Amino acid sequence: MNKTLMERARRMLSGARLGQEFWAEAVDTACYLVNKSPSSALEDKTPQEVWTGKKPSLSHLRVFGCDAYVHVPKEKRTKFDSKYEKCIFIEYKDGLKGYKLWSPVTRKVVYIQDVVFREVKDVIKHEVQPKEPEKIEFELKEEESNSTAEEESEDEEPQTPTVRRSVQERRQPERYIPSAFCSNFALSVTNDDPKTMNEAVDSEDRKLYKEAMVDEMASLHKNEAWDLVELSARRKPIGNKWVFKKKINAE
């Protein structure tokens, strides 16, 4: 299953023309779709149906990496500003109504329910005479919040944005360029990490390291990660060690 998820994630990233920075969202989305897909091993039922007893809804599914247009409230725009902000759909979130989007403009993740999707991908056509750009229909989510309805009732009827087909490739967000990657993410690490447990417990952060080790051991015991057995004379034990990493940037 791990191999299946990784292969699907690679294809999804390639099809969406997204960089490897979005690998976690791609794998998460692949797993989400597997749980909602029929399986011959489950007599053509979905894993979610077998687990919960209810058939999953598929009406909210969208193409990974497609363009998503988010309505900008009146108070956050001027008279001549666009009513929509263009984002990229990157993930579903269990327990939350709506979608996880990435905004290339603000370089932030957005969770929102009312979205206008453009799921048709750009296609490069080799023609002598260029054609007029096509108008692409948008599908509005049926469940609209009261706040959005009130805003639109006060304003004129929102117009569906006309999107021109383009052969330009989507540029990678600057935040994810390797030179900036290490300074912007929580999993970035420093170079002065302890190499051994003794170094950790003797460092100025020894209290935090000890708490982390206690939590880790408690988790391993709770999940019954191993059984203690007598070592056979014909066997050699596999070595192990603690690995310490300092995480920076709490966000």
Are residue 68 and residue 150 in the same domain, yes or no? yes
Are residue 66 and residue 167 in the same domain, yes or no? yes
DSSP 3-state assignment of 85? strand
Are residue 202 and residue 214 in the same domain, yes or no? yes
- Are residues 161 and 188 in contact, defined by beta-carbon separation less than 8 angstroms? no
Are residue 71 and residue 51 in the same domain, yes or no? no
pLDDT in tens, 209-249: 999 999 999 998 888 888 888 898 888 888 888 999 888 77
Instruction: Quote the pLDDT of residue 35.
Output: 92
Which regions of the chain are under pLDDT 70? 95, 121-191, 250-251
pLDDT in tens, 167-178: 555 555 554 444
Q: Is 162 inside a domain boundary? A: yes
pTM: 0.46
What separation in angstroms does the CA of 151 have from each of 75, 76, 81, 144, 145?
10, 12, 16, 12, 10
- Structural domain tally of the chain? 3
Q: Is 232 inside a domain boundary? A: no
Q: Is 138 inside a domain boundary? A: yes
Are residue 191 and residue 249 in the same domain, yes or no? yes
Q: Is 126 inside a domain boundary? A: yes
Which residues constitute the domain of residue 40?
1-58
Encoding tokens for residue 221? 């015991």
Encoding tokens for residue 149? 């309805």
Instruction: Quote the pLDDT of residue 79.
Output: 80
- Are residues 46 and 38 in contact, defined by beta-carbon separation less than 8 angstroms? yes
Buried b (16+ CB within 10 A) or exposed e, 216-247: eeeeeeeeeeeeeeeeeeeeeeeeeeeebeee
Instruction: Quote the pLDDT of residue 239.
Output: 86
Encoding tokens for residue 33? 């779709």
